[in-house]
Structure formats: structure tokens, C-alpha cells
Amino acid sequence: MKRFLLGLCTFFLLHITFQGHAQYVLKEADKQYELYNYSKAIDLYEQAYKKENTLHAAERLANAYSLMNNYVQAESWYAIASKMPGSKSDNILGYAKALQNNSKYSEAKAQYLNYIDKKKDVSVQLQEAWVASCDSALKWMKYPKSVELINQKALNSAQSDWGAVKFKEGVVFTSDRTNTGLESKETNPFLKFDGAKTPNKKIYGWTGNGYLKLYLKSNATADIQLFPIKTGTRYHVGSASFTADYKTMYFTLTRIPDDLEKVKNKPSTVNVEIYSSTQDADGNWTEPVAFAYNNVNEYSVGDPFITTDGESLYFASNMPGGKGGTDIYVCEKTAAGDWGKPINLKEINTEGNDRSPVFDAKNNFYFSSDGRVGMGGLDVFRAWRAGSSIGKIENLGYPFNSPQDDFGFSLNDAGGIVYLSSNRNNGLGNDDIYTIHQKQILAFNLTGRVFNKKTNEPIAAALVALAKVNGSTMKTETDDNGAYQFNLSKESEYNVSAGKTGYRSDVENLATIGLTSSEVLVQDLYLDQIEINKAIRLENIYYDFDHWNIRPDAATELDKLVKIMNENPTIWIELGSHTDSRGKDAYNLKLSQKRAESAVQYIISKGIDKNRITAKGYGETQLLNRCANGVECNDAEHQLNRRTEFKIVKQ
């Protein structure tokens, strides 16, 4: 009895210690979350969730991933949170938006309607906008504009690169690549930190990357370098706009003012400010001058655009009195050379976020907004000017816009170059800079249908992507008959893939090289329905003898699993490694565990949440044939047992 009581006491002490540690981790995660250190917060919330599956941790993970624009992980965590006991209806709304950001418009529409059904006080205007956005996006993808977006790989990095504008013979842009060796998020480049501490001078907690800086590529062959201006801040600098003669520039920065109140354990927020600088006779940029309507302690001003004559300054701000999150304003220069009071562009602004104002030579006004009917995130719109007032406002459609954020629209009227910034899929980094080009004559038509591989029934609302080799990607959804179509260019190579939540994707390669006459190409695709706890073999996963490192040929196969997990963010899997019976049982078990862990680490390195995948080494415990210890078998029979499999354990 005494031994039993001692054991019981030990159990309770361990349980209390475990709970105490879990609560400490959760508390620290909350602190980092409130300070906008989402990169650190995510790691801590994942630790906390692994110890105890709480709704709070799941919700915060969903929100943090969404704020970092990782919509695949956000979809996964919103799906989990929305199904947990006590979940708020806001998690359904977050789930709908994540699905929309992942191009799953039919599923997103269903979740918006689910939210509307549960949340009775949603305005009719907002209800209609959500539904219309999903319906319109499907229409725009089916009938895309005849333009092609080219990723500017010479400018882009593995981090965020955006806001490209012409500067003489080159281009100036904003990037957070600082910690890569060259000496965002873009929508929120302000600082929030513990009042008792100074924020890290190298790493921005929101993204885990460096701070935003202005970079210059002076011509097509020049190296990228920091823009030669002394701003006096170690923190964010970005979003440049130049007058027509390139002698005056407006840009944004964040600095910590001397009079900022600093209280221990109380968050301090520093907002974005606009500054200007002019070039002196020696070509040097003068000390930055603060914009008259900066208010670092109260609100942000950003996204400056100076008109070619230097008489009007447009910008975005969340200052009091606006319609939404951020509104677009304009200040006109007075006779004395000062800036007049900010005027809210009420015809442009919405209840959402409106930003990135810019004019072209024809006086057309372009801006980005997430408060209008669009594809998801920020979409680029054009407003027709009618005298001094704004006329028709139109969404530029697809592929100008994508399910993610599209902003930083910039036109070089002299050279005909149009820049666009976007965090759309298949980029080099978080945000990338693109140029827009008129698409070449489309000579071929691709049609096909998507089927259930097992039943041969057509799959409606499957997402089909057409990726041009070394080019852009177009997307569409299948109709009720599982049908899709695309137009193809001459002498080009493509891969076409289809996927849908609950299915394994299929991909096929095709080309128009050598085809001389217009003809219809047909490519059907077949999707395997996902089954829980069914082992699926990954082919061609080989290891060197007595090693567990991932070889290049194995990486290619594991990338296919990464694709499946990205297309199905709600699945959690176990990756199992098996050996043959040669060697000692205990050693084989250890070796297979190391191989499984190596494969899992590779998959995590590709951006998959570590909570969604576990490693399991089975050694020789699950042989597929007679080749057990002591049984003579040939190499082919042993090879059958050496395998890597995955099975979906949760959906």
C-alpha cells in the first residue's frame, strides 16, 4: 500500500510538473504573440499544443500563420480549431479566408455560408461580397486576361521583395533580405516590443527575417546594393516613390522616438512614418525630412506616391476618421510649398484595407484593396478618372490578381514596364516582384477531365494548375462534369496537375514543341481518394548502405509527399521506414528510426508543420514476404521489404 501511495504521489507530481511547464510555454507564447513576434510564438504554441490539445493554442496558431501569410498552415489550424468543442464562429470565417487564399473557392464559399448561418448579425453587403468574390474568382480564372507574369529572379530572394519602381536606368525596391549576407511584413512594417527592451536590431519578430531596406539595381547588369541614403534608423526602410526628375524621393521608415513611453511587460508600438529626401549637387541624398502628418505614437502613414509634378502626395494610413483598416489619402501642395491637410478618398476607400496608390500617364488611378469583390487578400483595382472625381472602379482580374496579396502596382510609361508585387504561390520567396507582359498568341487548346481513380467518377471543383516550364502558373476549377480547359502557347513545355481536399494529386507533363497546326490537346487526370491508416508506398526512396541521409533521388520522391500535404493541409501523417531482415533486429529498428526521422526532417524543412508528421521506424517487424531471419532470399525479395511508406492518421 505504501509503495502504491508513493507511486501515486510520484504520478501526481509528474502530472503537476508537466501541466506547469505546459502552462509556462503557453504563457510565453501569448507574450510573443501580443508583441507580434509570430515566428517565435508559433514555435511555442506548437510545443504547447503537443503537450495539450487546447483550443487556445490551435486558434493562435491559425491566426499567427495567417498573419505571416502562410495560408497552407493557416488552413490546417483553422480546420482543427473550428471543429474543437467551444470553438468560436470566427474560426469558421478564418477557415473560409484561408481556403480562399489557397484557391479553393468552392470550399471557401461553403464555409462563408456556414459562417453566415451561424453569425446572424453579418451585414448583407458583407455576405454578398464574400459569395461574389468566390464566384467572380472562378469566372476570372476561367476567362483570364491575355497577360503573363514573369518572376524577376534577378531581383527576388528567398525572403520578401516588393514595391519595385523605376529609378533612372534601373529599379529601386524593398526587401527584408538583410540576414542573407547582403549589406513584412510589407503590410505591417511597424514595431511592437516589450517596453523595457529594445527590439532586435537585425531580426524582425513578425517574420523572423531581417528588417525592410531599400535596394538598388542601377541597370540590367549591375549587382544589387543598398540604396545610398542614410536614414538614421536600424529598423524598417521601404516603399519609395520618386519625382519625374528623380531628384526628390518619398519613402517610409520606422524609428523609436526619444519620447516613447517604455513600461516593463507593457507592449510599446512604433508606427510607420513618411520621410522625404532630395539629391544635392554632388548626387548625395540629404538628411530625411519628416512628413507633416506623421504621428508615430498614434497611427501609421505609408505607401507614398508622389505625382510626376511633385504637387500631390498620395499615401495610405490608419489615422482616425477613416472608413476601414487603412484608407488612401492625398495631400496637395499649398502656394507656400507646404502640404495641405490629408483628404480621404471616400470614393475609393472601403471597410477593409486600401493601399498602394499610383497613377499612370493617362491619369488612371491604381490601388490595392481587400475590401471589394476580389480573388482573396489584396487585389489590384483601376479607377477611371472623370475630371476631379472617380468614375468606374474595376478589378483587373486574373492573372493580374491571385488568391493571395497583389499590390505595389507600378508603371514605367516610358519603357512600357509594369511591375507588380505578390506573395502568390510558386514564387522564390514570401513576396516577389513580377513584370507583366502581353501573352504571345495562344495556338493550342488543352481540355481534360478529372476523375476519381478508383470509381472513375468525375470530380467537380477540383483545382487544376497549368505551370509553364520557366514561366507562370494558371489555375482553374473543374465544372460539375470534372472538365477543365486552358490555352497553350507554341513551342512550350508545361505540367498540368489537379488536386482537391481529401485526394492525392495527379500531375502530367505535356508540350507543344514541334506541333505546327492548331489542335486540341486532351489530358485527363486521376485522383486517389485519401484513406485513413492505409499505408502508401513512396517509390524510389533509397539509402546508402548503413546511412540515413536523404539522397537527391529520394528528395524528389519526398517532394511529392510535401505537395500532397500542402494540397491537403488538414491531414496528419506517419512516415514509416522498413528494413529487410539482414542484420541484427535491434540495429535494424534503430537504423529505420533514423531513416524515418531524416525523411521527416527533410519534409519539415520544406515548410510542413512538424506537428503534422511523425517518424516511425519499424525495422524488420512488418515484412511483406517470407524473407525473415534465417530464410534464404535473393536481392529482389529483400528489396521488397526495404521501403518507406506513409499513412494518414488524422484528417
pLDDT digits (tens, 9 = 90+) for 301-352: 999 999 988 999 999 999 999 998 999 999 999 999 999 999 999 999 999 9
Residues 401 and 511 in one domain: no
Total residue count of the chain as it appears in this document? 651
CATH of the domain at 629: 3.30.1330.60
Q: What is the DSSP string of 170-215?
A: EEEEEE-GGGGT---GGG---EEEETTSPPPSS--TTTSS---EEE
Residues 484 and 555 in one domain: no
- Three-state SS at 77: helix
Residues 316 and 301 in one domain: yes
Phi and psi at residue 118, in whole multiples of 5°?
Answer: -85, -30
The pLDDT value recorded for residue 540 is 65
Residues 306 and 370 in one domain: yes
Last residue of a domain, one of 411, 438, 465: 438
Structural domain containing residue 521: 442-529
Q: Which three cell numbers stand for residue 352?
A: 477593409
Residues 460 and 604 in one domain: no
pLDDT digits (tens, 9 = 90+) for 509-561: 999 998 876 678 999 999 999 888 888 878 767 666 666 777 777 788 888 88
Q: In whole angstroms, what is the distance from residue 428 CA to residue 156 CA? A: 7
The pLDDT value recorded for residue 14 is 41
Residues 44 and 93 in one domain: yes
Please list the residues that pair with 277 across neighbouring strands: 249
Last residue of a domain, one of 529, 564, 580: 529
pLDDT digits (tens, 9 = 90+) for 60-97: 999 999 999 899 999 999 999 999 999 999 999 999 99
Q: Which three cell numbers stand for residue 274?
A: 513618411
Residues 81 and 126 in one domain: yes
Phi and psi at residue 424, in whole multiples of 5°?
Answer: -60, 165
Query: What is the Cα 205 distance to its own chain's centre?
Result: 17
Residues 604 and 633 in one domain: yes
Decide if pLDDT at 209 tops 70.
no
Residues 207 and 286 in one domain: yes
Q: Which residue has the higher pLDDT, 113 or 392?
A: 113
Residues 485 and 575 in one domain: no
Residues 299 and 359 in one domain: yes
Percent of the chain with pLDDT over 90: 60
How many domains does the structure of the chain reveal?
Answer: 4
Residues 561 and 515 in one domain: no
Name the DSSP letter for residue 439: P
Last residue of a domain, one of 438, 461, 483: 438
Say if residues 578 and 641 touch (Cβ distance below 8 Å): yes
Cell numbers 490595392 correspond to: 368
